[in-house]
Amino acid sequence: MSHNNWMNFANKTDALLSSCYIIKAAEKFIPIHHSSQHARDLRPKTLKKVY
C-alpha cells in the first residue's frame, strides 16, 4: 500500500469515526489506560522472590 493510499484510507476512517456518536460516547466512558490495580501482582513478596 502506498503512502497516498494509506493517507486516503486514514482520512476516510477518521471522518467516519468522528461522525459516529457511539464511538464518541465510548471514548468518554471507557478508560484507555488500565488502573494501577490492573497490573498489580497479587503474589506475596516471598513468592515473587523465589519465582
Write down the domain spans for the chain.
3-50
Which tens digits make up the pLDDT trace of 6-48? 999 999 988 887 777 777 777 777 766 666 666 677 788 787 7
DSSP state for residue 28 in the 8-state scheme = H
CA distances from 21 to 10, 16, 25, 27, 29 (A): 19, 10, 6, 10, 13
The Cα 8–Cα 49 span in angstroms is 52
C-alpha cell at 16: 467516519
pLDDT of residue 38: 60
Euclidean distance between CA atoms 23 and 11, whole angstroms: 16
